[in-house]
Every structure is written in structure tokens, then in C-alpha cells.
Amino acid sequence: MQDAPFHQLPGDPLPAATAYWARAEDGVRLRLAVWRDGAAADDRAAGTVLLFPGRTEYIEKYAPTAAWLNERGYAVIAIDWRGQGLSDRLQDDPRPGHVGAFADYQRDVVEMVVAASDLGLPRPWHLLAHSMGGCIGLGALLDDLPVESAVFSAPMWGINLRQMPQRMALGVSYLAGRMGRGGRAAPSSGGGKGGTYVLDESFSANLLTGDAQEWSRMVIEAASWPDLTIGGASFDWVAHALNECSRLSREPSPSVPTLVALGALEQVVSKAAIRERVSNWSGAHLLDLPDCRHEPMMETPSVREAFLNAMLDHFEG
């Protein structure tokens, strides 16, 4: 692996990650980041957290969470999924969130596991997966991801399509693909006005967090590092994502101790799909978070601490 860049804002007191380039089996270049400053020495480490971000996200966004975990003895490794962050974009227009097939994300997971092993990151390993990362993470668990436990934050096991029936969303996406527009951003797909959600949306109307300071940090990062951001999901991504959620809904739950966090104010992913999965998963527990929107790790201090402490208890349990 070769060294890769990692961004920090001026005066940021958090320790920088060590970033690396990796290359997936199909040739796509991926960016990985490892935080282990402040974590216990390997012979006394609590373990390692494999952090699966959501759609539109980039590894720098999770620096505060990684620092919190480091302080409690955990190393952290995170990834820019293909098509976002500094990993290779997959079409000439780099703005839409796009993927050729949802299964391709599992190629990225393989490289993340290989990197964690090659870097000697301490075991046991645990999964922390947010939103789209939760969809990828469930698929990875079904493919025997080598972790001892898993924590999901607002996992994308279904998408909140508002009033649009899923068949209609699939039909529109397939039609766009047949017309050669599958790589274009679908309307109302989370990209704001064709740009970056946090720059185009107001704080009062945003679906991510009720914490003004966290929202401001997202805005400053997006404005400072436009090369890390993407816009709305492509029609192809929407079709692939809906099909993957449907596929996973038919699969039995893995035998991995699991904690699933769901905000009462969630409007991005399907709350019904999350509750349905957890209710039929004997090894899973649901953490209901009042006054929480889509991102527990970027929420108000009380919500954030409730989630992080429950996660820590789960890992240690």
C-alpha cells in the first residue's frame, strides 16, 4: 500500500489518520485510513473497529469518532467506498454517487480486510456501519466478515422513498438506464440542488443532525474539500441499492451479536425495514434514540454519547 493524503482543517486538534491507497481486484483505487494514536499498545489493545461510512461520506468525517474510540483502546480503519471520497470515481461526471453493481462494494470490503490484516491491527475486530455502509456491512457479515460483533447506525436496509412506490422508483431508474442516463443524478436523491447536500440544504431543514455545531463542521469540511464530496445518487445506484435491499431482506440474519441504532426522527432510510429485520434477528438488539435524525455520531451531545456508550458496551460485552 502507498501513502495517501488525509485532510485536516487548520487548528484541528484531533490526531491525523494514516491514509493509504489500495487497489481492488477490478483495478479501482481505494483510499483507506487508520487511526491508532492514543490506542493501547497491541498487546493491551481492546481491538479494532472496521468503520463502514455511508453514501456521500469520506473518511475525514469520522475523525472525532475515531479519536473517541482510540481513547478507549480501539484502533480504527475506515474506507472511502468506490465512487466517493478520494477513491476512484466510476464515470466521467464525478458528481453523482454511482456504482456499476452493488456487489462491487464487497470488493472494497475485501481490500479493507486485507489492509487490516497486513497492518497487524489488533483483534478482536468489530464492525461499525452507518447508513449505506450498513447495507454493505450486512452483506459482508453474510459473507463471513471476520468480526466478533457489529453495530449498525441507521442502516440502509430499505430506503425511505417518501410517497413513491418502490416499483415506480425501480421503473424510473431502469428507464433512465435504457435511455443512456443511468449515470445521471436522480431527482430528490440526497444531492441537494445538484451539488452537495450540506452546502445546498439549510440547517433547519436538514435530515442528518439537530446539532448546529456538527452541522457547521460538515459545511466547513464540504466547502474546504470539494474534491471529497459527491452529489445525488445516480439512477443506476438507486436501482442497484433497491435491489440489494430486497435481496438482503430475503436472507437469514447472521449469527453475530449485533446492536442497531435508530433515531426517532429518521427520514433517510426505512424505519420499517430496520424494525422488521431486528424483530426477526435473535442476536440483535434495537437502540431507540429519541431526538435523533439520521446520524447518531454527529448528533447533539446527549444523543451522541448515548450511542457511543451503547456501542462500547456492546463491543466489550
pLDDT value for 119: 96
Angle at 61 between CA 57 and CA 65, to 5 degrees: 125
Report whether pLDDT(278) > 70: yes
Mean pLDDT of 217-229: 97
Q: Compute how many other C-beta atoms are within 10 angstroms of the C-beta atom of residue 281.
A: 17
pLDDT confidence tier of residue 153, bands split at 50, 70 and 90: very high
pLDDT value for 275: 98
Q: How far is CA 67 from CA 49, 51, 225, 275, 306, in A?
A: 12, 13, 21, 30, 17
Nearest CA among 111, 133, 132, 113 for reference residue 121:
113
pLDDT digits 0-9 by tens, 15-66: 899 999 999 999 999 999 999 976 666 667 899 999 999 999 999 999 999 9
Q: Partners of 159 in the beta sheet?
A: 269
Tell me which H or E stretch contains 69: helix 63-71
pLDDT digits 0-9 by tens, 10-27: 999 998 999 999 999 999
Q: What CATH number corresponds to the domain at position 26?
A: 3.40.50.1820
Mean pLDDT of 113-130: 97
Q: What is the pTM of this model?
A: 0.96
pLDDT value for 192: 43
The CA distance from 305 to 301, in Å, is 6
DSSP 241: H
Q: Which domain holds residue 111?
A: 2-316
Number of domain units in the chain? 1
Q: Partners of 34 in the beta sheet?
A: 18, 77
- The chain-wide mean pLDDT, for the chain, equals 94
Among 4-18, 55-69, 161-175, 293-307, whose mean pLDDT is lowest?
161-175
